[in-house]
């Protein structure tokens, strides 16, 4: 997965490799609908038999202030050969490759907007045109995890100004 050992503390332009994933897809989602989708999606992927190869992520397509499409998933060591039906269907997909601005956010999930604001401002200042964005939940949340220590890597994928 496109992660660094240490958090990325300043918005940084990187080039990402495309990575195969196992996902649960949702269309026309709003922010208020996210929690139950997360709660059902990740366990379904874990139960699917997919060869999970990294931390969970959420990929957003569209306007997060309106309705958007969502992929909840994990990177996998081998692409899924076919969809896995169940309570929710698990499908093969991929994290996008190409240019992206990235930043690590350390803190509770309810403070992610601050990190996204910093990342979007840095990208806009450089003329970057985003096409999608995703969050990688580097620190697995558990009942014992202090929310202030959660690391989430943010990726704003798109096209640099010079392209």
pLDDT score, position 35: 87
pLDDT score, position 39: 87
Q: Confirm if 105 and 111 have CB atoms less than 8 A apart.
A: yes
pLDDT score, position 73: 96
pLDDT score, position 87: 85
Q: Which CATH superfamily is domain 12-159 in?
A: Regulatory factor, effector binding domain (3.20.80.10)
pLDDT score, position 161: 82
Q: Tell me the C-alpha distance between 82 and 60, whole Å.
A: 23
Taking the domains of the chain in order of start, what are their residue ranges? Answer: 12-159
Q: Confirm if 152 and 115 have CB atoms less than 8 A apart.
A: yes
pLDDT score, position 24: 96
pLDDT score, position 146: 94
Predicted model pTM: 0.93
Per-residue pLDDT of the chain (163 residues; tens, 9 = 90+): 667 788 999 999 999 999 999 999 999 999 889 989 988 898 899 889 899 999 999 999 998 888 999 999 999 999 999 999 988 999 999 999 999 999 999 999 999 999 999 999 999 999 999 999 999 999 988 889 999 999 999 999 999 887 6
pLDDT score, position 120: 95
Q: From the CA atom positions of the chain, what is the Rg in Å?
A: 15
pLDDT score, position 163: 61
Q: Confirm if 8 and 64 have CB atoms less than 8 A apart.
A: no
């Amino acid at each position: 997965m496109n992660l660094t050992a240490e958090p990325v503390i300043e918005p940084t332009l990187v080039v990402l490799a495309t990575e195969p994933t196992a996902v649960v897809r949702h269309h026309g989602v709003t922010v208020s609908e996210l929690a139950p989708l997360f709660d059902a999606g990740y366990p379904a992927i874990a139960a699917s038999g997919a060869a999970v190869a990294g931390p969970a992520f959420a990929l957003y397509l569209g306007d997060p202030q309106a309705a958007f499409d969502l992929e909840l998933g994990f990177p996998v060591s081998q692409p899924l050969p076919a969809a896995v039906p169940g309570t929710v269907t698990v499908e093969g997909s991929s994290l996008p490759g190409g240019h992206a601005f990235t930043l690590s956010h350390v803190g509770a999930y309810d403070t992610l907007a601050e990190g996204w604001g910093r990342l979007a401002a840095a990208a806009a200042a450089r003329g970057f045109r985003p096409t999608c964005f995703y969050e990688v939940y580097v620190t697995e949340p558990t009942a014992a995890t202090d929310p202030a220590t959660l690391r989430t890597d943010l990726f704003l994928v798109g096209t640099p100004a010079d392209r």
